[in-house]
Structure 1
Amino acid sequence: MSEAQARKSKITDEKLGEQYRDKAFSPPTHYTLAKAVNFASIRKRMFAKREQSRSDTIKDTKDTTKDTKDTTKDPKDEKDDSIYANDADLLRDLLPTAVEQEKFWLWVHTEDKLARTMPEAREAKEYFNALAHTDYSNESSLRQLFAVLQAYAYPYIPAGSHNDYRYRLNPSLTTLGPDDDRTDFDDTRDFAAEPIIAVTLVGKQIRCKDEREDRNRRRRKDDTDSSYHSESSTESSIMGNDSTGFVCFQIGKLLAAEEEYWSANGKLSKDEDAPWTPTDWVMVVVIDADNTAGAVWLLQNFEPTIENTSDQYMIDEADPYRWGYFEGDLQKSPRPMQRGGVKIAHKITDLSKTFQWTQDEYILGKYDILQAVLAERSGDGAPFIIRQFLPAKADDSTPDVSGLSFGDDY
């Protein structure tokens, strides 16, 4: 630093000191948007100056006989801050008053606080609205949804009530997934996003609580629009959302708490940490033919994860007491039927703290999970999500001996 620069810096420091000591000085509490833009530019220049100072220190310890000037940058594109000895001098010159400097540091602290803060929790309504207004075949629309799902709803995500229990949602997008041996990896179509799965019933149908509708559904043929079918009649019979299954987006795992813990105003009135217990149910939202959210289902997780570990265990389908029931069901007389899946709402925005589940459709027994794929529509329409055709399993009852050698061939 030259003598002139040192003298100027000292005068500036003295003036700043006088302003801070002035009884009329009051630290600012806000700044304008234009100032914020200018402060961002100043901080960028300060960081660059600091890096330059460090580089100069390193160069002093090395051979500097060669000119290593960077000629790739146009001097007109950047301000010449070489006149400043350090970043502090740069700041004093650009913001010479105490008020301006305090505004700058107020902006810096605000920005740093935002960088350290977790995303603001979303209200449950906003959470459900995001799920309801997503195009699940569109990558950009899914990115917007994931941005909302990254922040948990506060104070919890309600999932409704059933049998004197209230349920809440623990967001988890990849709880269920197709097995590799049930997936056709040679399929040339794009796979749907990972949270999207296909649920298929083999040799069974989705049942209706309305007995008349249930009988009619069994009798009539699948009236799915032919535009949703592929050329393969075999595949088309299971590709859409019908009585044999559906495609859906996973939302999360279900937690339960007895309603006796709740007060009249809807808040937990007793020990708030004790009531919530995990269940083996996973909430999904059906993806309709127009790629938007449809009915809300709960699916039995037949391979749940042990709490606080990453280990999974398989629920034995032969054990009727280990799956298919909700809290309190086994104690009821008569006991409800055992189910692998239950529809609880016609649309995701119906859910609330006290919403009573509809349960007008259900799956008896275990279901299969297949890969969901994007299929092209006839014409120029957007692709739609279907269930991948279930590849036939190879018959391994008779071993292949064609490649074996017998006798003294070797």
Structure 2
Amino acid sequence: MIHIHPFPARMAPEIALKGLEGLPKDYVVLDPMSGSGMVLGTAAKVGLQAIGYDLDPLACLISRVNGRSVAAEKANNALKDLLSLARELDSEKVTLGWIDNDPATKKFIDFWFGSKQQKQLRALSYFLVERPFTKNSVVLDVLKVAVSRLIVTKEPKASFARDTAHSRPHRTITENNFDVFEALPNSLRHVISALRPDQIKQNVKSFRGDARRMGRISDHSVDCIITSPPYLNAIDYMRGHKLSLVWLGHDVGSLRNIRSRAVGAELVLDSKHDQEFSKFLALLHDDIDDKKKRILKRYYVDLCDLTKDAFRVLKTDRDATYVMGNSNVKGREIRNSDLLILAAEKAGFVVSDIKTREIPENRRYMPMKGSNQTALSNRMKQEYVIRFHKPAA
């Protein structure tokens, strides 16, 4: 299966499909941490209404495109117009405020991008973000994804970075002749081919927001939840996505703020442990220091908040399926799955099924073989698929 855009540790399509098959056509599906949009895209093709949430602006964009129908001819014609405008523009004479008025963002771009690619990306960004060349928001989003996937890559293309697709970017070259304009038509063809817009039966909705506070969604309005929360200390999505997002209207300061608010961020929370978390701590080895315990506490509080809001929006007698992998702290396995179960039960859910599955190495955008991320690769070999039920009051 090909995908419209690289994304680290995306949900396996068979999990999304199994969770959606056989659901009544009037069901509303929610993925509160939509990531690559696997659930949304699958729901759109099955013909179900679907809603996605994510804090990461690039995840929101990819999710939205993954579940929206677009006419290939219209997208291709729009790209021709975009390239014609971009080639004629002197990009150094226009202003991109989030870049030109922010020294930190300008410094970031100068480090990761060559002068040729900067000029081309500035021109594209001007007509996609600063002064959109079309009022068709669906076409604009598709073209943004086509540009982004030339930046978020395994090997250097539009940037100096290798391994950006695995959220482990490191600069491996200092000169770059890559032509973004020349590569865009093929990139768009890939997006359209992976999207298969002719198979989309129901357009999805995707919001940029926090799974812990889904204010746009009413109480008891969702029939099914399928999602995969970030795993503690596993993957820093923003580290790779930032290289793309600085060309999509975001300065590095705002992206740093988003990253610090994400579920799974390794931030310390000073608070007393509640009874459920104390039970979890009792299972840990003594060499987990107090700081790490407070980081775990922050993660547990995040899981409590997101399962509480999931419980709020889900209808009674409905199911929520979570895909969760475990983490490693000081060489010790941390069972995120157990933390999730504690949090979900506290919210009012009842565990109805737990399955484990091996993660095929060639099916997810994990760090490449030969990298220094062997610990991450080892702890990401298995994940849990946990189904919770919301019982009648």
Question: Same fold by TM-score, threshold 0.5 exceeded?
Answer: no
Q: Which has the larger radius of gyration?
A: 1
From the two aligned structures, give the one with the greater helix fraction: 2
TM bracket, shorter-chain basis: under 0.3
